[in-house]
Amino acid sequence: MTVTSLGLITAGTGVVVQEHAGTIGVEAATDDLTAAIDGTGRDGRTTASVRLSGGRLDTIERTVRVHDGDEWRSLEADGIRYVGSGGDQRVVSVAGLVIREYGDGAIAVRDPALLIGEDALVITIPVIQGGGAVGAGGSGESGGVARLRLAVDHDERDLGTGPFRIAIETANPTAVERAVRRTGDRAATTEPESEPILSIDRRQFAGDNRESVVVTVGGDREGHLLVRTVDLELEVAYGT
């Protein structure tokens, strides 16, 4: 074996190890960000942590709209995004979903908070305020931890009776559509009498940079919109 061959093998091994470490970092960030969103179900102040593993955490602009039969109500919901050190893997949380992006694909690992019952529909939308961006230059566990300081307040709004439409601005419409279908399937399985009638479409709203997935929930139900306003502060707890 030549020195050149040995060098190529060593370099190739290094790339594999680096890619594996990046994947582990994204998986950890996915778990941490999902736990952080789950934690917004309680009023008051709380903290959460997201392992950066050499990546960065920031906030992004996204709009969620709810149509109550008369007009669209716009919520500047925004979102939280983790970008891995290589830039090709990301984790995004918008409207309660958590979506993992990899290359040209994406999959939702946390579905939207749509509760469809026989007599009622409850839509829960986290609205992220504040934020900014934090990052770490290291890799692996030494890459730093982002501390999320959350102040959560809930506001319930009556939407009247259906049908209802929810529009979620997203860079990953296919992943959002699949997550919504899973939500409808679960409602049909757990409460067959509720007869959830879901239809899904896409629409480009004026002023938005991306398409929105528009979900229509049919049937005669009382609609409730639960807005979780989350005042977010980001800081690096430790890192390089």
Q: Considering its fold, how many domains does the chain have in total?
A: 1
3-state secondary structure the chain: CCHHHHHHHHHHHHHHHHHHHHHHHHHHHHHHHHHHHHHHHCCEEEEEEEECCCCEEEEECCCEEEECCCCEEEECCCEEEEECCCCCEEEEEECCEEEEEECCEEEEEECCEEEECCCEEEEEEEEEEEECEEECCCCHHHHCEEEEEEEEEEEEEEEEECCEEEEEECCCHHHHHHHHHHHHHHHHHHCHHHCCEEEEEEECCCCCCCCEEEEEEECCCEEEEEEEEEEEEEEEEECC
Question: How far from the centroid of its chain's Cα atoms is residue 74's Cα?
Answer: 18
Round to whole Å and give the CA distance between 196 and 183: 10
What's the pLDDT band for 79 if we cut at 50, 70, 90? very high
pLDDT digits (tens, 9 = 90+) for 167-198: 999 999 999 999 999 888 877 666 555 555 78
pLDDT digits (tens, 9 = 90+) for 132-147: 778 755 444 446 788 8
The predicted model scores a pTM of 0.81
Mean pLDDT for all residues in the chain: 79
Sign of the Cα torsion 167, 169, 174, 175 reads negative
Q: Residue 128 pLDDT > 70, yes or no?
A: yes
Sequence-distant (≥ 6) Cβ neighbours of residue 235 within 8 angstroms? 134, 146, 147, 149
Q: Residue 113 pLDDT > 50, yes or no?
A: yes
- 72 token code pair: 């669209």
Of 13-22, 89-98, 148-157, the poorest mean pLDDT is in: 13-22
Q: Are 224 and 164 in contact (CB under 8 A)?
A: no
Expressed as residue numbers, the domain containing 140 is 3-238
What's the pLDDT band for 163 if we cut at 50, 70, 90? confident
Q: Residue 225 pLDDT > 50, yes or no?
A: yes
Strand pairing class (222-238; 105-110): unpaired
